[in-house]
Amino acid sequence: MSHGRACAARIRERAAHEGWPLIHTAAQIATCCQVPPLRAWRLAHGMPLEEAARRLIEICAETGLRQPKLHKGDLSKYELGRTPVPVWMIDPLCRLYRARPDWLGFGGDYSQGDPDATQATPFRTPFPLDKPDHGGHRKSHSLSFSGIGGSDDMRRRELLHQMLVTSGLVLTPSHLVATEQTRQRLHEATTGSGIPADILDRLEGLIPGYERRFYELAPVPRLGALLTDFDEVAHWLGHRLPVMTQRRLWRVAAHLAELTADTLYVLGQGRHGAAWLTTARTAADEAGDRTVATWVRASQAVHAVLDEDDPARGLAYVQEAQGLSRTPSPGTVLAFAMEASAHAKRGDDAATHFAFSRAKDALERVPAQQQRSGIWGYQDRKLQAAISNAMTRLGRTREARAAQTEVFRQYPAHSLTYVTARFDQAKCLIHDKDFDAGCASAARTLLDLSPEYRTPLVLNRAREVLLLLPEKHRNRPAARELRDILATTQRA
């Protein structure tokens, strides 16, 4: 809970400086610190558990209620949902924190008022009143800082909007439900008619927009933006449209779904990412665009090989991507690069080098205009990133370092490609028996990143450095320091 207290103190300072209302302060603490609403309100008041318990007893005495035998441990259990909150204690808690019951997590606000009003409930997770979940504990304390009533569709859109404007890494179960509902909407596209030409042009313009700013967005706001845009595309695909118009929209949907999948993998949500890649694949096939369809299958290979440690499945996707290509495209080059990575995971040096030679040959034959896109194009710098990763796995540190030099020169420091190459650099040091330098390099890579970029996928890349250490060297001071940094980052 040390993160919660420290973070809450910073939020209170900012709230005092900017004149936030108390409800906004509590909501920010709940979102940032990942604590239930009852605890968030106590932290918003800056009140220790002992003081809160004492004042609750005093309030009960003043209002003529029964005198609870309440200690700080009891109140902590109420806050975490481990002990059901007596119904008669709701009023004293509301008096203590100057809040409504639904603000403290007891039920929700189902009134028909303005959903954007300041009085809306910012905490939608019901708090246990009569009995706890199985085993006496709550299964999850994640909160959705949504704060609106209305229809399910309105709540889903609000959750997507939160991700667009949130700078932290917190993804609550409600956010993931909204994410999945948004994906599924595309498959409900059955009725309707027409789309104005200006709207169609604007939706197609989303793709170059993401090409320009994709790497400038932190993962959670990026996910919110993608899902909000995908939601609109899915809405229009629900209309009856001319075939060519549908294909144009399906192509936009394929690109947005592929970027959404990539972002979910970065945030450690591999199962959801895989589902979105399936959706991207379906959309690309509906669009009838071989170039996009090839890219999506190659992207499936990327995540199967690098994130899911399943080179066999990755190679199956590679074969599908290569089978779709009549002429070389960026997806073809990516597929060859992932074939090389899969062979590197299996320790097959000769097959890895052969696949890379095919990738280089294909890259030379890709039309220049298809190479330009920073996301869906394939330039030499992307190939160098793949070479860095594969050669590092094979322990060919000299070739790996040559590729890393190009990656560091051409990618922004906060991009996942750059960060992954930094971890490859640390692994190369360990391959060369410089264990302390390897751990120190990985630690610096983590500390140099802003918190919003220390995603679960990045932390997994850092753990790979530790796992590469021989067993007898895993308790060296540098290794312990890296392990401590990882633990601290994970808690934050």
Q: Using one digit for the tens of pLDDT, what is the confidence trace for 385-415?
A: 999 999 999 999 999 999 999 999 999 888 8
Give the pLDDT confidence of 95-112 residue by residue, as tens digits.
899 888 888 887 665 555
Percent of the chain with pLDDT over 90: 46
Neighbours of 367 (CB within 10 A): 11
Quote the tokens at residue 229.
Answer: 């845009």
Using the predicted structure, report yes or no on whether residue 114 has a pLDDT greater than 70: no
d(CA 446, CA 82): 35
Reduced to 3 states (helix: H, G, I; strand: E, B; else coil), residue 458 is: helix
CA 400: distance to chain centroid?
Answer: 29
**Do residues 121 and 115 touch, judged by C-beta distance below 8 A?**
no
Using the predicted structure, report yes or no on whether residue 243 has a pLDDT greater than 70: yes
**Do residues 286 and 317 touch, judged by C-beta distance below 8 A?**
no
At residue 137, the pLDDT reads 35
At residue 351, the pLDDT reads 96
**Do residues 347 and 340 touch, judged by C-beta distance below 8 A?**
no
- Closest CA relative to residue 392, chosen from 459, 461, 485: 461
Give the pLDDT confidence of 296-346 residue by residue, as tens digits.
999 999 999 988 889 999 999 999 999 987 889 999 999 999 999 999 999
d(CA 367, CA 235): 34
At residue 257, the pLDDT reads 96
- Closest CA relative to residue 236, chosen from 179, 182, 191: 191
**Do residues 487 and 456 touch, judged by C-beta distance below 8 A?**
no
| Residue scoring higher pLDDT (274 or 23) | 274
Using the predicted structure, report yes or no on whether residue 237 has a pLDDT greater than 70: yes
Using the predicted structure, report yes or no on whether residue 193 has a pLDDT greater than 60: no
Mean pLDDT of the chain: 83
